[in-house]
Chains A and B, each alone.
Chain A
């Protein structure tokens, strides 16, 4: 079953001035399978947060369908299965972390004992045990992000939606968040998160959706996107006379006694191998240099 399915989602905002309309989402489709980590990628203003807000009923779609585990997104049944961490979260600063978690648990009508136990577990999970009785107004940005993550998990959700969860976290915090996300996946949860920090995303996601200007430009499993996207082939060889290279107009870089040639296609790389063998040279290595998520992302944006 799909954890989250979005079909032909459209959303338009009206500007206050002259009632001009801005089409933010132009009929997007997203499919998140149960148990996977889905990275939702896009530059600022592409429509990531608008999509997430539509899924959570914070704003209303103009057209399209959204379902969560097969139920319409706007039903209590669907909402019970979702945990949510907003971008730049702000919580009631007069509450302590424990009080916030208890309050959030009560919004799910969870039994008192269950809320209490779960709150303790989550405070430990996000490393706020020593600050649990401190009011949130005394918390740093990173600590707010941690308590935000804890509140998003209070109902033991099957689908966790995180909007820019890595922003505001230091490298240690990011590593800890990655570990939590992976442990949630291992516990069978589905995660859907947006991020600008591509390295973090690349390390953990199963599937990626790239949104640009309100449209999904690319969606697929990260392994497929990357394996199908070889940037160039790097052939390292030795033992070929320089004159032969010049004669054949081959541009090389030199590293110690080795020559390095970059070729754009597999066919060109094979031609180089044949050339080296024909000139009694030795192939040291042939490496297909694959695209990183950042390369794929930039290619979609810049073209």
Chain B
């Protein structure tokens, strides 16, 4: 009930902000612009449609996740609305969870709006319904949840500018972190191995959740890899939220 109240309020805050709609509309427009790009391309037009369309939706959903997430907790502290939360019979961990779930619903609505329009557009353009695109959106949603959890973590102890720098950095490195796993085979020193291993496990492996190339190039997606990616995302999100709650539990609001 209490987590639901915080989540609902977080959702209300996001949907009563015009920037939220602006990002959704621009995201949809960019996704639909793939039609123009495909007209200018030689070869497989469907591939271009999917490639640019999915990338646009991904980009604008990530923008919503980062810029809503980094302000979520910080704004409560900055505007001192947090006084009215922590003085009530609700634990600080539940507050963090409520904020996360509120952002999760906000992102779900944004993603569903963009995905639905893109599906219809794809159906009208190609005459086929590609169910695998749905799998892409599911994994994208989990990627967005990881980004949300990270942005909430940073926002619980840092300013929005620093939080956005940290979150964007982790997002970018997260798409390259799989290279640490490859890199370790070239290392001989134990210390170097420990550092590289640690980085590999600390930084989110967001490429695990990116199946755009498989969709575009029509590579089969194995169910165990798909489910494994979701389990990885859920575990990573839980770890980040536990850390955020631990930091928040110790925080004083002066």
Q: Contact partner of B252 among A59, A99, A106, CB < 8 A?
A: A59
Which residues of A have CB within 8 Å of B79?
Answer: 90
Flag if B80 contacts A95 (CB, 8 Å).
Answer: no
What sequence of 0s and 1s flags, for each residue 56-93 of chain A, a beta carbon within 8 Å of any chain B beta carbon? 11111000000000000000110110101010111110
CB distance from A98 to the nearest CB of B (A): 13
Interface residue ranges, A against B (CB under 8 Å): 13, 53, 56-60, 76-77, 79-80, 82, 84, 86, 88-92, 94-95, 99, 103-104, 106-109, 151
| Segment among B9-17, B52-60, B110-118, B208-216 that sits at the interface with chain A | B9-17
Quick check: A106 and B81 within 8 Å, CB to CB? no
Of the candidates B2, B17, B84, which one forms a contact with A84 in the assembled complex, judged by CB atoms under 8 Å apart?
B84
Complex contact B87–A60 (CB within 8 A): no
- Bitwise interface map of B from 231 to 254 toward A, beta carbon under 8 Å scored 1, else 0: 000000000000000000000111
Cβ contact within 8 Å between B87 and A84: yes
Q: A59, A79, A89, A92: which contacts B88 (Cβ < 8 A)?
A: A79
Q: How many residues of B contact A (CB 8 A)?
A: 26
A95 touches B253 (CB 8 A): no
Contacts of B87 in A (CB 8 A): 56-58, 79, 82, 84
Contacts of A88 in B (CB 8 A): 80
**In the complex, A95→B12 CA distance in Å?**
8
Q: Choose one: B1, B8, B253, B254; the contact of A109 (CB below 8 Å).
A: B1
Asked if B4 CB lies within 8 Å of chain A CBs, one says yes
Interface pair B86/A58, CB less than 8 Å apart: yes
- Expressed in whole angstroms, the Cα–Cα distance for A59 and B80 within the complex equals 13
Nearest opposing residue in chain B for A92, CB measure:
B81
Q: Which residues of B in the span 1-58 have a Cβ within 8 Å of any Cβ on A?
A: 1-2, 4-6, 8-9, 12-13, 16-17
B253 touches A104 (CB 8 A): no
